[in-house]
Amino acid sequence: MSKQQSTNTRPAATSQEAVLRATDLTKQYSELTVLDSIDLTVHAGSVTALIGPNGTGKTTLLRLLLGHLEPTAGNVEYAGPAVERPIGYLPQQPAFRPHFTVEETISFYASLLETPTDTKELLTQVDLYDVRNRPVEALSGGMTRLLGIAQSVVGNPPAVIFDEPASGLDPTMGTKAFEITAQLAERGTAVIVSSHDLALVERYADTVILLHDKQIAAQGPPQQLCQTHSVADLWEVYDAVTATETPQTNTEVTQ
Protein backbone atom coordinates (compact mmCIF):
# COMPACT_ATOMS: atom_id res chain seq x y z
CA MET A 1 0.00 0.00 0.00
CA SER A 2 1.37 3.41 -0.93
CA LYS A 3 1.98 6.12 1.61
CA GLN A 4 -0.79 8.19 0.04
CA GLN A 5 -3.29 5.35 0.37
CA SER A 6 -2.31 4.69 3.96
CA THR A 7 -3.16 8.23 5.06
CA ASN A 8 -6.13 8.50 7.38
CA THR A 9 -8.76 10.16 5.22
CA ARG A 10 -11.71 9.67 7.54
CA PRO A 11 -13.69 12.88 8.07
CA ALA A 12 -12.78 14.70 11.26
CA ALA A 13 -14.91 13.63 14.19
CA THR A 14 -17.82 15.97 14.75
CA SER A 15 -18.24 15.32 18.44
CA GLN A 16 -15.22 15.73 20.65
CA GLU A 17 -16.56 15.31 24.16
CA ALA A 18 -14.24 13.65 26.64
CA VAL A 19 -15.52 10.19 27.51
CA LEU A 20 -12.56 8.81 29.46
CA ARG A 21 -10.07 10.96 31.29
CA ALA A 22 -6.97 9.82 33.19
CA THR A 23 -5.21 12.30 35.42
CA ASP A 24 -1.74 11.92 36.89
CA LEU A 25 -2.05 8.16 36.61
CA THR A 26 0.69 6.09 38.18
CA LYS A 27 0.83 2.30 38.45
CA GLN A 28 3.34 0.24 40.32
CA TYR A 29 3.48 -3.52 40.68
CA SER A 30 5.44 -3.93 43.91
CA GLU A 31 8.76 -2.20 43.16
CA LEU A 32 8.15 -1.91 39.43
CA THR A 33 6.78 1.42 38.25
CA VAL A 34 5.05 0.77 34.92
CA LEU A 35 3.27 4.09 34.40
CA ASP A 36 4.31 7.41 35.90
CA SER A 37 1.96 10.43 35.97
CA ILE A 38 0.03 9.76 32.78
CA ASP A 39 -2.59 12.27 31.63
CA LEU A 40 -4.83 11.37 28.74
CA THR A 41 -8.29 12.00 27.37
CA VAL A 42 -10.26 9.75 25.06
CA HIS A 43 -12.85 11.62 22.99
CA ALA A 44 -16.19 10.62 21.56
CA GLY A 45 -16.11 9.95 17.84
CA SER A 46 -12.42 9.23 17.61
CA VAL A 47 -9.93 6.38 17.54
CA THR A 48 -7.06 6.73 19.99
CA ALA A 49 -4.28 4.21 19.43
CA LEU A 50 -1.87 3.17 22.14
CA ILE A 51 1.48 1.95 20.86
CA GLY A 52 4.77 1.12 22.52
CA PRO A 53 7.28 -1.68 23.06
CA ASN A 54 6.32 -4.98 24.69
CA GLY A 55 5.95 -4.61 28.43
CA THR A 56 5.68 -0.84 28.32
CA GLY A 57 2.30 -0.76 30.07
CA LYS A 58 -0.37 -0.63 27.36
CA THR A 59 -2.54 -3.39 28.83
CA THR A 60 -2.00 -1.95 32.29
CA LEU A 61 -3.20 1.46 31.11
CA LEU A 62 -6.24 -0.03 29.37
CA ARG A 63 -7.18 -2.01 32.50
CA LEU A 64 -6.79 1.12 34.62
CA LEU A 65 -9.15 2.98 32.26
CA LEU A 66 -11.61 0.10 32.61
CA GLY A 67 -11.42 0.15 36.39
CA HIS A 68 -10.11 -3.45 36.43
CA LEU A 69 -6.94 -2.27 38.16
CA GLU A 70 -6.54 0.24 40.97
CA PRO A 71 -4.04 3.02 40.23
CA THR A 72 -1.20 3.54 42.67
CA ALA A 73 -1.87 7.28 42.30
CA GLY A 74 -4.03 9.50 40.15
CA ASN A 75 -7.51 8.77 38.89
CA VAL A 76 -9.66 7.73 35.97
CA GLU A 77 -12.96 9.37 35.20
CA TYR A 78 -15.70 8.09 32.93
CA ALA A 79 -17.28 11.29 31.60
CA GLY A 80 -19.66 9.79 29.04
CA PRO A 81 -23.44 9.43 29.17
CA ALA A 82 -25.06 7.39 31.95
CA VAL A 83 -25.94 4.16 30.14
CA GLU A 84 -26.31 0.48 30.98
CA ARG A 85 -22.89 -0.40 29.65
CA PRO A 86 -20.48 2.55 29.65
CA ILE A 87 -17.36 0.73 28.42
CA GLY A 88 -16.94 -2.30 26.18
CA TYR A 89 -13.72 -4.32 26.38
CA LEU A 90 -11.83 -6.71 24.14
CA PRO A 91 -9.14 -8.33 26.31
CA GLN A 92 -5.81 -9.33 24.82
CA GLN A 93 -6.83 -12.99 25.06
CA PRO A 94 -10.59 -13.25 24.79
CA ALA A 95 -12.08 -16.48 26.13
CA PHE A 96 -15.63 -17.76 26.09
CA ARG A 97 -17.55 -20.40 27.94
CA PRO A 98 -17.28 -23.66 25.99
CA HIS A 99 -20.21 -25.55 24.43
CA PHE A 100 -22.17 -22.41 23.60
CA THR A 101 -22.41 -21.55 19.93
CA VAL A 102 -21.26 -18.22 18.52
CA GLU A 103 -24.85 -16.99 18.33
CA GLU A 104 -25.75 -18.24 21.81
CA THR A 105 -22.70 -16.48 23.20
CA ILE A 106 -23.67 -13.10 21.77
CA SER A 107 -27.32 -13.66 22.69
CA PHE A 108 -26.24 -14.38 26.26
CA TYR A 109 -24.33 -11.10 26.55
CA ALA A 110 -27.22 -9.26 24.89
CA SER A 111 -29.66 -10.80 27.39
CA LEU A 112 -27.77 -9.13 30.24
CA LEU A 113 -28.78 -5.70 28.91
CA GLU A 114 -32.08 -3.99 28.28
CA THR A 115 -30.62 -2.21 25.24
CA PRO A 116 -31.68 -4.37 22.26
CA THR A 117 -28.97 -6.03 20.16
CA ASP A 118 -29.34 -7.11 16.54
CA THR A 119 -27.33 -10.31 16.83
CA LYS A 120 -27.46 -11.02 13.10
CA GLU A 121 -26.15 -7.56 12.22
CA LEU A 122 -23.41 -7.78 14.81
CA LEU A 123 -22.21 -11.22 13.70
CA THR A 124 -22.37 -10.17 10.07
CA GLN A 125 -20.23 -7.12 10.88
CA VAL A 126 -17.43 -9.35 12.19
CA ASP A 127 -17.89 -12.00 9.47
CA LEU A 128 -19.08 -14.67 11.92
CA TYR A 129 -22.70 -14.98 10.86
CA ASP A 130 -21.98 -17.99 8.64
CA VAL A 131 -20.45 -19.84 11.61
CA ARG A 132 -23.10 -18.75 14.09
CA ASN A 133 -23.97 -22.37 14.98
CA ARG A 134 -20.37 -23.40 15.63
CA PRO A 135 -19.36 -24.01 19.27
CA VAL A 136 -16.95 -21.34 20.47
CA GLU A 137 -14.26 -23.90 21.30
CA ALA A 138 -14.20 -24.86 17.61
CA LEU A 139 -13.33 -21.32 16.49
CA SER A 140 -9.86 -20.45 15.29
CA GLY A 141 -7.83 -17.97 17.34
CA GLY A 142 -8.65 -15.19 14.90
CA MET A 143 -12.36 -16.01 14.92
CA THR A 144 -12.33 -15.99 18.73
CA ARG A 145 -10.87 -12.48 18.62
CA LEU A 146 -13.58 -11.40 16.18
CA LEU A 147 -16.19 -12.82 18.55
CA GLY A 148 -14.50 -10.82 21.30
CA ILE A 149 -14.88 -7.68 19.22
CA ALA A 150 -18.58 -8.45 18.74
CA GLN A 151 -19.02 -9.10 22.46
CA SER A 152 -17.30 -5.84 23.34
CA VAL A 153 -19.78 -3.70 21.41
CA VAL A 154 -22.98 -5.41 22.62
CA GLY A 155 -25.20 -2.68 24.05
CA ASN A 156 -23.45 0.05 22.03
CA PRO A 157 -21.24 1.38 24.85
CA PRO A 158 -20.04 5.02 24.49
CA ALA A 159 -16.43 3.89 25.04
CA VAL A 160 -14.77 0.77 23.69
CA ILE A 161 -11.35 -0.51 24.68
CA PHE A 162 -9.67 -2.96 22.31
CA ASP A 163 -6.45 -4.62 23.48
CA GLU A 164 -4.63 -5.69 20.30
CA PRO A 165 -7.71 -6.37 18.12
CA ALA A 166 -5.64 -7.32 15.06
CA SER A 167 -3.36 -9.77 16.86
CA GLY A 168 -3.56 -13.22 15.29
CA LEU A 169 -5.77 -12.01 12.46
CA ASP A 170 -4.83 -12.40 8.83
CA PRO A 171 -4.15 -9.12 6.96
CA THR A 172 -7.71 -8.91 5.65
CA MET A 173 -9.34 -9.51 9.01
CA GLY A 174 -6.79 -7.33 10.83
CA THR A 175 -7.80 -4.51 8.53
CA LYS A 176 -11.42 -5.41 9.15
CA ALA A 177 -10.87 -5.10 12.92
CA PHE A 178 -9.51 -1.59 12.43
CA GLU A 179 -12.30 -0.72 10.02
CA ILE A 180 -14.70 -1.62 12.82
CA THR A 181 -12.88 0.78 15.15
CA ALA A 182 -13.31 3.53 12.53
CA GLN A 183 -16.99 2.69 12.04
CA LEU A 184 -17.57 2.82 15.79
CA ALA A 185 -15.88 6.23 15.94
CA GLU A 186 -17.97 7.47 13.02
CA ARG A 187 -21.11 6.75 14.98
CA GLY A 188 -19.73 8.62 18.00
CA THR A 189 -18.01 5.95 20.08
CA ALA A 190 -14.78 6.79 21.89
CA VAL A 191 -12.40 4.01 20.88
CA ILE A 192 -9.04 3.31 22.46
CA VAL A 193 -7.05 0.54 20.90
CA SER A 194 -3.61 -0.89 21.61
CA SER A 195 -1.68 -2.36 18.72
CA HIS A 196 1.75 -3.26 17.41
CA ASP A 197 0.54 -2.90 13.81
CA LEU A 198 1.83 0.59 13.06
CA ALA A 199 0.57 0.59 9.47
CA LEU A 200 -3.01 -0.02 10.62
CA VAL A 201 -2.62 2.51 13.42
CA GLU A 202 -1.31 5.11 11.00
CA ARG A 203 -4.20 4.45 8.67
CA TYR A 204 -7.07 4.37 11.16
CA ALA A 205 -6.12 6.29 14.32
CA ASP A 206 -7.11 9.90 14.87
CA THR A 207 -4.67 10.20 17.75
CA VAL A 208 -1.62 8.09 18.56
CA ILE A 209 -0.21 7.79 22.06
CA LEU A 210 3.29 6.33 22.18
CA LEU A 211 4.13 4.91 25.59
CA HIS A 212 7.80 4.64 26.40
CA ASP A 213 9.73 4.42 29.63
CA LYS A 214 6.65 4.83 31.87
CA GLN A 215 5.38 7.94 30.14
CA ILE A 216 3.67 9.29 27.06
CA ALA A 217 6.68 9.96 24.86
CA ALA A 218 4.72 11.24 21.87
CA GLN A 219 1.08 12.05 21.24
CA GLY A 220 -0.92 13.42 18.32
CA PRO A 221 -2.46 12.64 14.95
CA PRO A 222 -0.21 10.27 12.95
CA GLN A 223 0.58 12.79 10.22
CA GLN A 224 1.38 15.48 12.76
CA LEU A 225 3.78 13.14 14.59
CA CYS A 226 5.52 12.38 11.28
CA GLN A 227 5.85 16.09 10.54
CA THR A 228 7.13 16.89 14.03
CA HIS A 229 9.80 14.22 13.74
CA SER A 230 10.50 14.99 10.06
CA VAL A 231 9.99 11.37 9.07
CA ALA A 232 7.93 9.54 6.47
CA ASP A 233 5.81 7.23 8.57
CA LEU A 234 4.76 6.19 12.05
CA TRP A 235 7.29 3.38 12.18
CA GLU A 236 10.08 5.97 11.91
CA VAL A 237 8.51 8.04 14.69
CA TYR A 238 8.34 4.90 16.84
CA ASP A 239 11.92 4.00 16.02
CA ALA A 240 13.23 7.48 16.81
CA VAL A 241 11.36 7.82 20.10
CA THR A 242 12.04 4.32 21.43
CA ALA A 243 15.69 4.17 20.30
CA THR A 244 16.87 4.80 23.84
CA GLU A 245 14.70 2.05 25.31
CA THR A 246 15.18 1.38 29.01
CA PRO A 247 14.78 -2.33 29.81
CA GLN A 248 11.90 -3.12 32.20
CA THR A 249 12.37 -5.67 34.91
CA ASN A 250 9.70 -7.81 36.44
CA THR A 251 8.70 -8.33 40.03
CA GLU A 252 6.32 -10.75 41.71
CA VAL A 253 2.88 -10.94 40.12
CA THR A 254 0.55 -8.70 42.10
CA GLN A 255 -2.69 -6.87 41.45
Ligand X SMILES: Nc1ncnc2c1ncn2[C@@H]1O[C@H](COP(=O)(O)OP(=O)(O)OP(=O)(O)O)[C@@H](O)[C@H]1O
Give min distance, CB of 52 to ligand X, in A.
Answer: 6
Q: Does 215 bind ligand X (CB under 6 A)?
A: no
Among 10, 16, 26, 29, binds ligand X (CB under 6 A): 29
Among 2, 5, 14, 254, binds ligand X (CB under 6 A): 254
CB under 8 Å to 241, separation ≥6 — which residues?
210, 212, 217, 218, 229
Whether 210 and 241 have beta carbons less than 8 Å apart is answered as yes
Q: Does 82 bind ligand X (CB under 6 A)?
A: no
Q: Does 255 bind ligand X (CB under 6 A)?
A: yes
Among 45, 57, 91, 222, binds ligand X (CB under 6 A): 57
Among 19, 34, 122, 237, binds ligand X (CB under 6 A): 34
Q: Does 107 bind ligand X (CB under 6 A)?
A: no
Q: Does 60 bind ligand X (CB under 6 A)?
A: yes
Alpha-carbon Rg for the chain in angstroms: 18
Strands (E), 97-206: 159-163, 190-194
Interface segment toward ligand X; rule CB under 6 A; list 16-24, 200-208, 218-226, 243-251:
243-251
Q: How far apart are CA 230 and CA 95, in angstroms?
A: 42
Q: Does 55 bind ligand X (CB under 6 A)?
A: yes
Give min distance, CB of 36 to ligand X, in A.
Answer: 12
Give min distance, CB of 5 to ligand X, in A.
Answer: 27
Q: Does 157 bind ligand X (CB under 6 A)?
A: no
Sheet containing 18-29: give its strands across. Answer: 32-43, 18-29, 73-78
Q: Does 253 bind ligand X (CB under 6 A)?
A: yes
Give min distance, CB of 249 to ligand X, in A.
Answer: 7
How far apart, in Å, are the Cα atoms of 86 and each of 60, 190, 246?
Answer: 19, 11, 36
Task: Output 34 or 154, the one with its CB closest to ligand X.
Answer: 34
Q: Does 108 bind ligand X (CB under 6 A)?
A: no
CB under 8 Å to 85, separation ≥6 — which residues?
113, 115, 154, 155, 156, 157
Residues of the shown chain interacting with ligand X in the complex, contacts defined by CB under 6 A? 29, 32, 34, 52, 54-60, 248, 250-251, 253-255
